[in-house]
């Protein structure tokens, strides 16, 4: 439904922002505004303000800002039309019918809502009769309390062909209404219609407003097929657009900041009964774009909880392909896996809600599950095998439509592949294990007396016989971590290097790296080497090391700084890169100071600039010294931990 500006303004005029917000946030008058604690972030001092004259709220803790419609969208997970309808009802504003046809369709839907509600009442009543004894026994076995049964309006469909049909026609409903509502089936062979649900435990499916729109019926027979039967789709019920228990989970999800999607109705009911209210279930389909949009209205990173068996893992893997094309900045999914052979109900019975919460706390981010799927069982000994994995992973990530998000996923993929390949380099393959001839890569980057950053002590060489170590190290890092380094391209392009490796200057090597960045966007060192101009290869061998059967790729860098050969964290690497960039910036500033001193005049302003630059250089030196000390300590601790297992 499209709402005119006049309608929206009338609703705003009748409902002060403080009245709408005040139903959820305790507000206190402060001058012309109202203040309260943020509904979006936990805080002790108010940073959330409401201004009725201007008609908006603003939350300084999260930066969120909007009017009364936006507030309901952000705090209750409503769509915009739902927010308008809710506030129009509160304000006493009648929303116009868009056309006679729309009014007729709305009246027909009302009739279907009435039929579905009458069916729910019928099923609830039959559960309490002698016919419902088997269903009640099943509920007892599942440990669902009478309170839970009543809250979810669980019922029973008797095992007869026309029990519901006869009851509802007796209430004044037409046969066509029952067919349209998915409650009865009309055969094509001319026979009379009959009940769709027979001999089943009945679970009402309710929409976002809590109205019954359909049913899920569970067989009570051990070999009954299908195990779960849903209502047929109709104008009220499109199973790909709905999630079970959404109307109950919405508020809890916004209060807790999370929502969990499980695989079945009974799983959701069991988790809800155990005290975790922000839980929903799919309706027997793979996740659809509409369902993901619903979950994202509840929380920025919903958790999808699958069984821990092979089928659950396969379901998670299939979901990835549906998520990536709709992924956007600020929205994602995590995946939690239950122990093999257990559903949420089993887990809660054995360990209580604490056990379920522990599973949720161990949920894997979307990217980790992507990498797990793409790398599972893949051989990585040969370059061609690694290239296949890299291409497959990056082709998959390119289905992400958000360019900013895609860039960061590609950076993470590059880092993950680099770590995966490096781990494989240190792992014996099957033939080597069988032949008993595996030898770890040899080299002085592995053991020996350590200096700064866990590096082995290198025999000192006269300055005239070696290139600038700072420059060589920075260049080697740019090759080792191209996915991180590309973010600093503008700053790197302004550097002026002095050294030389082989027949190439360091400036030439830097420009070659930047060229590869621009043309090929490599994610791993091997991709940098693959796109080098052939005559540049010796220089890259000298500063970084392409590796061979006895030495890993990057061995020259590792011989200077051993920690870099053991996959340090991305945060450590970024700080490491920053240190060497700052060293070169310091050198350029020192050159600038020398130039200024040589050209100084009697102008007091020149002396002031020199004094200011000297002070700045002193601070830079202090920062560099502190960074070296901190990184060195971290590297030593990390390497000790690696050696001690």
Under 8 Å between Cβ of 475 and 541: no
Coil, strand or helix at 539: helix
Mean pLDDT confidence for 414-440 = 58
Model confidence at 436, pLDDT cuts 50, 70, 90, reads: very low
| Per-residue confidence (pLDDT) for residue 465, from 0 to 100 | 30
Domain boundaries, the chain: 5-91, 100-237, 241-371, 377-434, 452-643
How far apart, in whole angstroms, are the C-alpha atoms of residue 468 and residue 2? Answer: 67
Across the range 537-561, mean pLDDT stands at 88
pLDDT at position 100: 63
| pLDDT band at residue 444 under the 50/70/90 scheme | very low
Q: How confident is the model at residue 607 (pLDDT cuts 50, 70, 90)?
A: confident
- Higher pLDDT among residues 551 and 203, named by residue: 203
- DSSP-assigned states of every residue in 447-490: SS-B-GGGPBPPPP--GGGS--HHHHHHHHHHHH-HHHHGGGHH
- For residues 533-547, one letter each, b for 16 or more C-beta atoms within 10 angstroms of the residue's C-beta and e for the rest, the string is eeebeebbebbbbbb
- pLDDT on residue 453: 53
Identical fold at 5-91 and 100-237? no
Higher pLDDT, 281 or 102: 281
pLDDT score for 606 = 75
The hierarchical CATH code for the domain 5-91 is 3.90.580.10
What does the pLDDT read at residue 254? 78
At residue 463, the pLDDT reads 33
User: What pLDDT was estimated at residue 456?
Assistant: 39
Tell me the CATH architecture of domain 241-371.
3-Layer(aba) Sandwich (3.40)
pLDDT at 614: 85
The residue that leads in pLDDT, 499 or 434, is: 499
**What SS3 state is found at 50?**
strand
Task: Calculate the CA dihedral of residues 576, 582, 588, 594 and round it to 10 degrees.
Answer: -120
574 has pLDDT over 90: no
Residue 306's H or E segment, with its range, is strand 303-306
Structure confidence at residue 446 as a pLDDT band (50, 70, 90):
very low
In the predicted structure, residue 645 carries a pLDDT above the cut 50: yes
644 burial via Cβ count (<10 Å: 0-12, 13-18, 19+): exposed
Q: What is the pLDDT of residue 246?
A: 93
Give the pLDDT confidence of 73-104 residue by residue, as tens digits.
888 888 888 899 889 988 888 887 666 666 66
CA 339 – CA 361 distance, rounded (Å): 14
Asked if residue 466 has pLDDT above 50, the reply is no
Q: What is the pLDDT averaged over residues 610-628?
A: 85
Cβ 347 vs Cβ 305: under 8 Å = no
Q: What is the mean pLDDT of residues 139-147?
A: 94
pLDDT given for residue 280 in this prediction:
96
Predicted pLDDT at 432: 41
Residue 626: CB atoms within 10 Å: 10
Does residue 457 carry a pLDDT above 70?
A: no
pLDDT of residue 104: 63
E-assigned strands of 327-475? 334-337, 364-365
Q: Are 303 and 335 in contact (CB under 8 A)?
A: yes
Q: Give the pair of three-digit tokens for residue 466.
A: 């070696």
What does the DSSP 8-state code read for residue 561? Answer: -
Rounded average pLDDT over 320-343: 91
Mean pLDDT check: name the lowest of 248-252, 274-278, 427-431, 624-628: 427-431
> What contacts 24+ positions apart, CB below 8 Å, involve 529-534?
529/479, 529/553
Range list of H helices, 59-162 = 68-76, 80-91, 100-127, 133-141, 146-151
Q: What is the pLDDT of residues 31-58, one digit of tens each?
A: 888 999 998 888 888 999 999 888 899 9
> Which pLDDT belongs to residue 343?
84
pLDDT computed for residue 105 by the predictor? 64
Q: How confident is the model at residue 458 (pLDDT cuts 50, 70, 90)?
A: very low
What is the third-level CATH fold of 100-237? Answer: DNA primase DNAg catalytic core, N-terminal domain (3.90.980)
For the ranges 136-150, 345-359, 474-488, the one whose mean pLDDT is highest: 136-150
Per-residue pLDDT at 489 exceeds 70 = yes
Instruction: Determine what percent of the chain is predicted with pLDDT higher than 70.
Output: 90
The residue that leads in pLDDT, 372 or 426, is 372
Query: Is cis: bond before 226, omega within 30 of 0?
Result: yes
**Chain segment 356-389, per-residue pLDDT in tens:** 999 999 899 999 999 999 998 888 888 888 889 9
Q: For 388, what's the count of Cα atoms within 13 Å in the CB-facing half-sphere?
A: 10
User: Residue 615 pLDDT more than 60?
Assistant: yes
Which residues on adjacent β-strands are paired with residue 194?
185
Q: Is residue 145 over pLDDT 90?
A: yes
Residue 286's pLDDT is 75
Please compute the mean of the pLDDT values over residues 333-356 and round it to a whole number: 89
Instruction: Give the separation between CA 246 and CA 272, rounded to whole angstroms.
Output: 12
Phi, psi angle pair for 78, to nearest 5°: -80, 150
Burial class of residue 186 (count of CB atoms within 10 Å of its CB; 0-12, 13-18, 19+): middle
Q: Name the least confident of 199-208, 292-301, 306-315.
A: 306-315
- Answer yes or no: are the C-beta atoms of 73 and 80 closer than 8 Å: yes
3-class DSSP state of 66: strand
State the Cα–Cα distance between residues 471 and 560, nearest whole angstrom.
13
DSSP annotation of 328: B
Whether pLDDT at 540 is above 60: yes
User: Which tokens sit at 10?
Assistant: 């009338």
Place of tokens 């393959």: 429
Which residues fall within 8 angstroms of residue 453, CB to CB, at 6 or more apart? 561, 562, 563, 576, 631, 632, 635
Round to whole Å and give the CA distance between 184 and 198.
10
Give residue 619's pLDDT.
85
Q: Indicate the average pLDDT of the chain.
A: 85
């Amino acid at each position: 439904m499209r709402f005119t500006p006049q309608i929206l303004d009338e609703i705003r005029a009748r409902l002060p922002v403080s009245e709408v917000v005040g139903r959820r946030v305790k507000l206190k008058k402060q001058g012309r505004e109202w203040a309260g604690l943020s509904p979006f972030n936990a805080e002790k001092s108010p940073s959330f303000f409401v201004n009725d004259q201007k008609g908006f709220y603003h939350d300084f803790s999260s930066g969120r800002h909007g009017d009364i419609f936006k507030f309901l969208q952000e705090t209750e997970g409503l769509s915009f039309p739902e927010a308008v309808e809710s506030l129009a009802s509160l304000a006493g504003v009648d929303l116009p019918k868009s056309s006679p046809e729309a009014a007729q369709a709305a009246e027909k839907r009302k009739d279907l809502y009435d039929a579905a509600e009458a069916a729910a009442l019928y099923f609830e009543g039959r559960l309490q009769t002698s016919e419902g004894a088997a269903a009640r026994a099943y509920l007892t076995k599942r440990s669902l309390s009478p309170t839970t049964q009543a809250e979810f309006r669980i019922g029973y469909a008797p095992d007869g062909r026309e029990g519901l049909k006869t009851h509802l026609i007796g209430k004044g409903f037409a046969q066509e209404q029952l067919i349209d509502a998915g409650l009865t089936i009309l055969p094509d062979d001319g026979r009379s219609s009959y009940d769709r649900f027979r001999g089943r435990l009945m679970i009402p499916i309710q929409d976002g407003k809590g109205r019954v729109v359909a049913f899920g019926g569970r067989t009570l027979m051990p070999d009954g097929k299908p195990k779960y039967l849903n209502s047929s789709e109709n104008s009220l019920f499109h199973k790909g657009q709905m999630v079970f228990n959404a109307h109950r989970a919405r508020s809890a999800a916004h209060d807790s900041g999370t929502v969990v999607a499980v695989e079945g109705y009974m799983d959701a009911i069991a988790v809800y009964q155990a005290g975790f209210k922000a839980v929903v279930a799919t309706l027997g389909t793979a996740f659809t774009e509409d369902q993901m949009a619903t979950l994202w209205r509840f929380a920025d990173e919903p958790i999808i909880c699958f069984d821990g068996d092979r089928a659950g893992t396969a379901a998670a893997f299939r979901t990835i392909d549906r998520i990536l094309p709709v992924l956007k900045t600020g929205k994602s999914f995590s995946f939690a896996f239950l122990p093999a052979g257990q559903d949420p109900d089993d887990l809660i019975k054995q360990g209580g809600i604490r056990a379920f919460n522990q599973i949720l706390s161990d949920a894997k981010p979307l990217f980790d599950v992507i990498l797990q799927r793409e790398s599972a069982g893949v051989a990585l000994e040969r370059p061609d095998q690694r290239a296949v994995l890299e291409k497959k992973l990056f082709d998959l990530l390119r289905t992400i439509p958000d360019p900013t998000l895609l860039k960061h996923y590609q950076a993470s993929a590059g880092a993950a592949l680099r770590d995966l390949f490096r781990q494989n380099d240190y792992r014996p393959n099957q033939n080597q294990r069988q032949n008993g001839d595996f030898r770890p890569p040899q080299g002085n980057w592995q053991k020996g007396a350590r200096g700064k950053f866990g590096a082995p002590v290198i025999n000192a060489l006269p300055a005239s016989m070696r290139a600038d170590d700072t420059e060589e190290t920075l260049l080697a890092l740019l090759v080792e971590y191209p996915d991180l380094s590309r973010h600093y391209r503008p700053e790197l392009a302004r550097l002026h290097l002095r050294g030389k490796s082989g027949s190439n200057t360091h400036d030439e090597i830097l420009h070659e790296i930047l060229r590869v960045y621009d043309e090929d966007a490599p994610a791993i060192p091997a991709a940098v080497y693959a796109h080098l101009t052939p005559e540049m290869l010796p220089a890259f061998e000298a500063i970084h090391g392409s590796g061979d059967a006895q030495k890993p790729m990057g061995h020259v860098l590792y011989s200077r700084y051993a920690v870099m050969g053991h996959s340090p964290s991305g945060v450590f690497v970024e700080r490491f890169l920053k240190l060497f960039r700052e060293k070169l910036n310091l050198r350029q500033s020192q050159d600038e100071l020398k130039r200024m001193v040589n050209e100084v005049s009697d102008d007091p302003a020149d002396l002031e600039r020199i004094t200011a630059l000297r002070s700045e250089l002193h601070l830079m030196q202090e920062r560099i010294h502190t960074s070296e000390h901190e990184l060195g300590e971290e590297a030593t601790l990390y390497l000790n931990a690696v050696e001690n297992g």
